[in-house]
Chains A and B, each alone.
Chain A
């Protein structure tokens, strides 16, 4: 059995086990005696959560998030160029910038925990969602003009890269400390500050020019960023709340490095392939995440 097959098989088994455990839980709960002492929402697992975290501690707002990534390109630099690549292109900064398309409304949930001090206005929140796939693109000269138009005056035949460069899955855990105001009102504005940690995986180059001979290695730096948050909760019914949440998530100076890149240069037919060298993108990853959700307090 190959490693890859083994991985897939293992994944299937683990996911299946997880689902079985999840499905098993309601039947177990169904045999328990239901507590009707309050009218809190009762759903499978809610009491378990209350037992773990306590009442009026944990809340969630399930909904959708609109993510608008704003990449502020600091530099695109070619380095460690191979000898042949150096003939065609100068190492160092390149003209152009990176960007990513906005992600429209993907399912997400804000999960918060009300801290035990104060009047219940302080809480810690996180945003849970399936990791979004970010499509990384470039524009400007680097996209529109062949990087290596000529090598020593010889047309290389290397086409422009075009826009699409790579994609990656981002798993940016966000933790914010939130202060809610007007705690006795049904309309509770809040503001928060927090940290995020940009964790990417499954990053891969998708550019057809760069992948003719295989995928170059793409490494996106994992690093901390900061989060500013405002929003409000509005009580709809008893423990049910709707909310609108706007986060500004900034991870500065994220470094992405592409290595082991081999391209075809039809104008240099004596080279079956041309090793390029490394490309390094440095950008501030600034995201505006607008979340609309509905949830209740456990």
Chain B
């Protein structure tokens, strides 16, 4: 009985226990396993316009197998490469080993695109073996592809549209069957990216392209169209249109591009029309913005808790960036905690890619480069101040699930983070006026993808992008990797302050300038980014034609207002560019009008006055143009080629004793260019094709070729013609390191010709023969392509200069540009010359004009006693010029600061000088009007190596100083004495001096080297019956066999006996050379080409 009762009890207890144990607790939700894998890439698939030097990132949730990822790649069957990480270009796998590293605690493959080719599409293959365990890498297909930026023109190829809003243009092509990757919203700007830079004069809204709204009736029938008012930015290979009012959802808009748009080689775009059907972003009709307000602030910044915060994607620190380049060394900049107001479109309506809007006119700030130092050592006395980036078009962003995971994968911060993609156009500017002028620019069509993580109850976005800055007025570029940390928190406050309105801080030309070129951009540097307002009221008036308005195009690049006259300006005319007070800055919340202040660059009246160059010639003689720079090469036909090892020859009609030019070198990726002494006929400035013999160009004035098995093969060129210069762009990939090439400039036939107003004369390739003779032998310059070693490479031009018509004379219509000239003193006379004076006491000067390619090299330890300078050390940091260099036997000493100096290679080019006229007395015979004619100053090559000057910091000088021992040959080829009865020694006559002066930065952004001689220069004009080294009129006889040498051996000493001399002296400070880089900032602001 007890047993049974016990059994009953046990059974009950067991029932209860089991009942309890069988509670259904297994129904808790288990999120699906996502697995490790790729979580982020930069760039995104299909990105175009990736600047070279960009770091590409491939970020995983799991560790990368470094050995596998860095093992390289080989070609496989069926175009499927073999390897874990492969970059495939047009020629197959690219050797990535030296450019790839594993960062971010082993989770990121980072690859630098430095060595890739411009304008080229690359595929990235990334397989599971690179990151074992990654579940989302394709084995048999590329992961993504991207295209590198094409900054240089492409020869022989018409421009095309590469992308619209970073999407395939086909997505906006009616009937293509392709839809946009991301929704096109009513607030979006239209960003059109082209395959190469465009000729900006050809990009004119309402003329060469249009953006219209198609008007439809209720049934959808087209009843008309109307132009859409936009804020327009066009530059390089970009067009951005921001409609001033949000577009009408559902309406049809069309962007029509015509074939009047051309590239810099004048090749036309194929006409095309794109249609846009904007989607509604608002909740209710009439709403100003999408419904969900967000406030985004850079976070964490320096003073925020949690700073410094390492990036989740790379080895960078959020909001602290290193601007690294060879010129300026490493400059660390920090982001300020600035807030942006953004608006999110209802995610329910756009559940996959949710659009986000940040209205134009908002800003982010960085600390700047303060001060800029060459290689981080040589102080340039230049500060950017804080750097501000203004979003001048609406920022269009999207929030989307991780694209590397299957659709529907729930976001996970570690293995499948949300992705944010920001597309924006940014205007960068510096706070400091001079720094701003050298730095401000637009960064166009930037795409910055980022990961969104959720911490501290907020959305935190880490955006990565590489921005390419142009610094020092475009003389150098910096690729800066930005890991921008942004936090979204409604508690942040958007600062509505806008402290002051914009002012004009600089202009090119300067207010009141004379001698301004007739085909040139007009630039106004402003202290803040400008809105579109008032720009259509900017007028350029020809005051000598009763204030006639000149057609212009107005564009904005950073804070630079670029005014491009659509036609050539009239010479010798007064112009006024008038800025209306309706111009405002681009501030979103509190835009302020342009302020006119007495201390601004326009004197407070908002009018830029200038006078164009007067090209009239006093003597009426037509003079051909000279090539004052040929890079690579020199602007004269050469002789004695291949007679000395390592030498390229010498100019014909110099002396056989001339030091020959060093073999010409071309630094890869620098701009080849030629500069002229006169305005040119741009129609004649066409690239040609080298002939098989390699000694002439057909169908064009200039050509480049390479010797292939004894036959010269042409390398196609694009030529961008300017008023007095042309830039050459060889076909991509044809100039390779170590290769030997040839540049030919025709001296006759198809060759460069000067402006029709100047006689349309052929370029003078033999200036030492005569400045007045057009044409000449072809210039043939063989050059070797070498890896770029210059940190800055630019062709700098003498500006301002006097001889604007380039005839070798200081004409009445020209002005004294003392910055580029020498004031002469007649120091003595001798022999039969008993007296001498300047024919016109006011014309005791030689004015020079030229252009020099210069390359700034990496810094070296301070040593002014090196062979390039030859100065004498005189105690610590003190160096003196050797007395023998100075005509007066003086020595000048310099106290240097710092331990380093920056070498600057100076091209050995030809400089044109104006004639001086003397009245002399030979015994009792007056010789009046003894004019030298135009003189040629050739920078003398060194016996070995390039001509090198140095940038130094000098005690007591705020600005860095450029120091050069300048040796030159002086020639006066057209000096005629007594109707040819007498001759002079002014042929390859050597002069030399130390020149020194500050490097400074103009308020229009140009770098200036303003040097003067610190040692005295003397030159004696020696008169004889025949030129030294010749037998004068008997020269032909000297060539006769046997008799010739005997006869000439007798008569030459007689004929060349010095009859008399006039000694000229240039005292220290009286020879000035002021050179500046062109404000084109490479091709960013390409000077207009005449039509």
Contacts and interface: CB of A to CB of B under 8 A. Distances in A.
Interface stretch (A93-101, A182-190, A266-274): A266-274
A18 B8 contact: yes
A53 interface: no
A84 B29 contact: no
Given A214-B27, A269-B351, A270-B347, A14 B15 contact: yes
B34 to A, nearest CB: 11
Interface residues of B, number: 50
Interface string B971-989: 0000000000000000000
B454 A83 contact: yes
B498 interface: no
Nearest to B350: A269
B18 A152 contact: no
Interface in B488-538: 488-490
Contact of B27 (A22, A202, A215): A215
A47 to B, nearest CB: 10
Given A152-B490, A153-B292, A48 B1 contact: yes
Categorize the interface residue count of chain A. Answer: 35 or more
B931 interface: no
Given A152-B459, A267-B347, A273-B31, A17 B1 contact: no
Given A7-B18, A214-B29, A270-B411, A21 B1 contact: no
A217 B5 contact: no
B28 to A, nearest CB: 4
A270 B418 contact: yes
Interface in A66-110: 83-84, 86-87, 90
A7 B23 CA distance: 10
Contacts of B351: 269-270
A30 interface: no
B18 to A, nearest CB: 6
A17 B14 CA distance: 11
A104 B170 CA distance: 72
Contacts of A83: 413, 453-455
A83 B93 CA distance: 42
Given A11-B18, A201-B20, A215-B28, A273 B410 contact: yes
Given A217-B28, A267-B348, A87 B418 contact: no
Contacts of A267: 347-348
A152 B354 contact: no
B462 to A, nearest CB: 15
Contact of B457 (A4, A8, A86, A262): A86
A269 B410 contact: no
A121 B456 CA distance: 64
Contacts of B31: 262, 273, 275
A154 interface: yes
A203 to B, nearest CB: 8
Contacts of B294: 152-153
B21 A7 contact: yes
A46 interface: no
Contacts of B29: 213-216, 260, 262, 273
Contacts of A25: 4, 8
B400 interface: yes
A124 B342 CA distance: 71
Interface string A264-295: 00111111110100000000000000000000
Given A7-B22, A154-B292, A272 B410 contact: yes
Interface in A7-33: 7-8, 10-11, 14-15, 17-18, 21-22, 24-25, 28
Nearest to B456: A86
A157 interface: yes
Given A21-B7, A273-B29, A154 B12 contact: no
Nearest to B343: A153
A226 B347 CA distance: 53
A204 B25 CA distance: 8
B28 A270 contact: no
Contact of B488 (A24, A90, A152): A152
A11 B347 contact: no
B454 A268 contact: no
Interface in B449-506: 453-459, 488-490
Nearest to B490: A153
B22 A4 contact: yes
Nearest to A216: B28
B18 A14 contact: yes
A273 B22 CA distance: 28
Contacts of B490: 152-153
A21 B348 CA distance: 63
B344 interface: yes
A270 to B, nearest CB: 5
A87 to B, nearest CB: 5
Interface string A149-190: 000111101000000000000000000000000000000000
A87 B20 contact: no
Given A25-B4, A86-B457, A87-B458, A8 B11 contact: no
A270 B1 contact: no
B293 interface: yes
A17 B7 CA distance: 9
Interface in B338-357: 344, 347-348, 351-352, 354
B19 A84 contact: no
B413 A10 contact: no
A87 B14 contact: no
Q: Which of B18, B20, B453 is most buried by chain A, counting CB atoms within 10 A of its CB?
A: B18
Nearest to A17: B11
A21 B458 contact: no
B430 interface: no
A25 B22 CA distance: 29
Contacts of B25: 217
A141 B103 CA distance: 49
Contacts of B1066: none
A48 B5 contact: yes
B454 A87 contact: yes
A267 B291 CA distance: 13
Contacts of A7: 18, 21-22
Given A157-B348, A214-B28, A272-B408, A11 B21 contact: no
A22 B4 CA distance: 9
Contact of B15 (A11, A154, A260): A11
Contacts of B864: none
B401 interface: yes
A202 B454 contact: no
Nearest to A12: B15
Contacts of B352: 269-270
B23 A201 contact: yes
A18 B12 contact: yes
A223 to B, nearest CB: 17
B190 interface: no
B488 A269 contact: no
B348 A266 contact: yes
Given A201-B20, A214-B29, A271-B411, A21 B11 contact: yes
Contact of A153 (B293, B348, B413): B293
B188 interface: no
A86 B28 contact: no
Nearest to A213: B29
Contacts of A17: 11
A152 B294 CA distance: 7
12 contacts: A4-B22, A7-B21, A7-B22, A8-B22, A152-B459, A154-B292, A154-B344, A214-B27, A216-B28, A217-B28, A269-B348, A269-B352
**4 tightest Cβ-Cβ pairs between the two chains A and B:** A214-B29, A269-B351, A7-B22, A83-B454
Given A14-B11, A215-B27, A273-B410, 10 more contacts: A11-B18, A11-B22, A17-B11, A18-B15, A21-B11, A28-B1, A154-B347, A270-B351, A271-B411, A275-B31
Interface of B: 1, 4-5, 7-8, 11-12, 14-15, 18-25, 27-31, 292-294, 344, 347-348, 351-352, 354, 399-401, 408-411, 413, 418, 453-459, 488-490
